[in-house]
Each structure stands twice: as C-alpha cells, then as structure tokens.
C-alpha cells in the first residue's frame, strides 16, 4: 500500500501526489521536477501492481522491482545505471523481544522510493 507520495524542494514538502496516481501521472510529475526537486514514494507491504506502476514511471530495472516485491531479501546494495537499491533489515527491541523488519530504499537523483515490510 502506498503510504505517502510527495514532491520536495530543498528539504521542504511542496505537494502531495495522489496515492492512486497512474504510471503516466507519475512519469509527468517526475518529468516536471526541477534540479532542486525530488519525489519520495513511501510504500508498506507492497503489491505487484503498485510497484510495477512506480517502476514504469521511474524506469526502474525489472530486477530492482522484483527485489522490492520479494520478501526475505538478504541485506545488499545493488547499483543500477541511474540509481542504487539498498535492501536492509531494521531491528526493533521491545522488552525482552527482538523483531526485524525489511526496508528497501531506491535512491536516484530525482526520486526516493522506500518499501517497508513487517512493521
């Protein structure tokens, strides 16, 4: 599920992008970004149509989209032509219990996509 999608400039939130934006809408938003702007899309427990839409709009490699969809990825850093994909685990401590969750971050010059699982 897309939790949030917004455009930022110089660290300040400018505008919110509809969570149900189509690939074409996201592509137009990305194409209209200035050099000082980027789009940040936050996703929790993703489904294939959401990530395929985002992947098409941001021109993410199919293997990167697959890695973001597939749970239980090992921690790693994958470099692609225009961006990097980081897969990692977050550790949560509660009393005597320790749990982990997964986080994937795709970082390009004009976008950040964060995918979280298990929170």
Tens digit of pLDDT for each residue in 30-88? 999 999 999 999 999 989 998 999 999 999 999 999 999 998 889 999 999 999 999 99
Average pLDDT over residues 14-26: 88
Range of the domain at 63: 2-117
- Sign, Cα dihedral of 20, 60, 83, 116: positive
CA distance 57 to 39: 11
Contact 108, 82 (CB under 8 A): yes
pLDDT score at 118 = 78
> Measured between alpha carbons, how far is residue 23 from residues 17, 44, 92, 116 in Å?
12, 18, 34, 21
Number of compact structural domains in the chain: 1
pLDDT score at 20 = 86
Tens digit of pLDDT for each residue in 91-113? 988 888 998 889 999 999 999 99
What is the CB neighbour count within 10 angstroms for residue 63? 11
The first and second tokens of residue 8, run together, are 């930022």
Q: Does residue 119 surpass a pLDDT of 80?
A: no
- CATH code for position 38: 3.30.460.20
| This prediction's pTM | 0.89
């Amino acid at each position: 599920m897309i939790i949030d999608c917004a455009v930022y400039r110089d660290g300040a939130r400018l505008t919110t992008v509809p969570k149900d934006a189509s690939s074409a809408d996201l592509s137009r938003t990305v194409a209209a970004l200035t050099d000082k702007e980027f789009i940040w899309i936050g996703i929790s427990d993703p489904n294939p149509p959401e990530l395929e839409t985002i992947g098409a709009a941001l021109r993410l490699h199919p293997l990167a989209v697959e890695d973001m969809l597939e749970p239980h990825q090992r921690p790693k850093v994958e470099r692609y032509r225009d961006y990097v994909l980081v897969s990692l685990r977050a550790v949560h401590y509660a009393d005597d219990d320790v749990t982990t969750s997964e986080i994937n971050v795709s970082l390009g010059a004009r976008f950040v996509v964060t995918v979280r699982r298990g929170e």
